[in-house]
């Protein structure tokens, strides 16, 4: 169900990850995402996965919420894994006509699956443990050097945060509309692909109407509160980097260094 998707939600808490400076969390998240792609063998990939699992454990967020965040891309993960089975060299395991599943294809499929899952879990950990306000402030501070190029940093950070915050809201609205349509006799689960696409039209129209209405209400609320962009604005909560943030940053850099060393000295494949 759509309502089971948890990506984009903020889960209040007092864990170590919750207390970290949001700028450090965003920087480490981007660093880990980059090094997930830098990892070229399973030894370095397992090191990054261990770091992701450690963050999940330290966040204090229930594991079921992380699993819910995976539902939205489960089909993409499975499809990508199946396609990668047929790419790669090595010994042939299964011959399916002109296509062959090889040891290299199995390695690629497992590698891509673990990589995509780690990306989603790590991104979910960031949104679960960081409030939208903190995300906005952190993004604005991190992009502050772009003001030299006359980039509207505050406005960009605000738009990105609002878009992220509206993901669970629109998903919840979609679920309500689908339930209402089913109560009126709409059939959205049977038939071929084209029939299912046509069945979604009665859902998309009210969903777009609801999205524009919510956007208008949000704009009106911001205008009533005299919001005029970032010029002259002050912060209710000033961000400070504590000693624990520096330690976590150092641990993240050490993990990335270990990934590079694993790529050089530890060649490792499953098959």
pLDDT at 36 over 80: yes
CB 103 within 8 A of CB 93: yes
Structure tokens, 12: 């209040």
pLDDT at 251 over 60: yes
Provide the percentage of residues in the chain whose pLDDT is more than 90: 8
Mean pLDDT for the stretch of residues 246-269: 84
pLDDT at 59 over 50: yes
pLDDT at 3 over 60: no
Enumerate the domain spans of the chain. 2-265
Residues paired with 92 in a beta bridge: 102
pLDDT at 1 over 50: no
pLDDT of the residue at 267? 65
What pTM was computed for the model? 0.74
Which DSSP helix (H) or strand (E) runs through 248? Answer: helix 243-265
pLDDT at 176 over 70: yes
Mean pLDDT of the chain: 81
Identify the weakest region by mean pLDDT among 23-27, 45-49, 88-92, 166-170.
Answer: 88-92
Mean pLDDT for the stretch of residues 49-76: 86
pLDDT at 212 over 80: yes
pLDDT, tens digit (0-9, with 9 covering 90-100), for 125-158: 988 998 877 887 888 888 888 878 888 887 888 7
**What dihedral do alpha carbons 28, 26, 140, 131 form, nearest 10°?**
-150
């Amino acid at each position: 169900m759509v309502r089971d998707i948890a990506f984009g939600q903020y889960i209040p808490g007092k864990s170590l990850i919750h207390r970290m400076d949001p700028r450090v969390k965003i920087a480490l998240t981007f660093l880990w995402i980059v090094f997930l792609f830098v990892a070229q063998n399973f030894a370095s990939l397992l090191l990054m996965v261990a770091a992701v699992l450690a963050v999940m454990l330290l966040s204090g967020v229930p594991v079921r919420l992380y699993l819910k965040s995976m539902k939205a891309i489960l089909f993409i993960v499975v499809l990508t894994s199946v396609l990668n089975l047929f790419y790669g060299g090595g010994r042939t395991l299964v011959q399916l006509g002109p296509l062959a599943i090889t040891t290299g294809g199995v390695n690629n499929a497992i590698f891509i699956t673990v990589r995509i899952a780690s990306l989603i879990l790590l991104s979910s950990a960031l949104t679960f443990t960081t409030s939208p306000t903190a995300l906005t402030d952190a993004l604005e501070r991190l992009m502050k050097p772009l003001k030299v190029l006359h980039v509207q940093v505050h406005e960009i950070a605000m738009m990105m945060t609002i878009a992220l915050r509206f993901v669970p809201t629109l998903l919840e609205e979609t679920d309500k509309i689908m339930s209402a349509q089913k109560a009126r006799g709409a059939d959205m689960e049977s038939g071929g692909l084209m029939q299912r696409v046509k069945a979604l039209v009665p859902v998309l129209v009210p969903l777009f109407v609801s999205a524009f209405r919510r956007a208008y209400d949000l704009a009106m609320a911001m205008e009533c509160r005299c919001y005029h962009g970032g010029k002259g604005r002050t912060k209710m909560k000033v961000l400070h980097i504590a000693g624990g943030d520096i330690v976590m940053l150092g641990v993240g850099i050490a993990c990335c260094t270990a990934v590079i060393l694993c790529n050089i000295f530890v060649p490792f494949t499953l098959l």
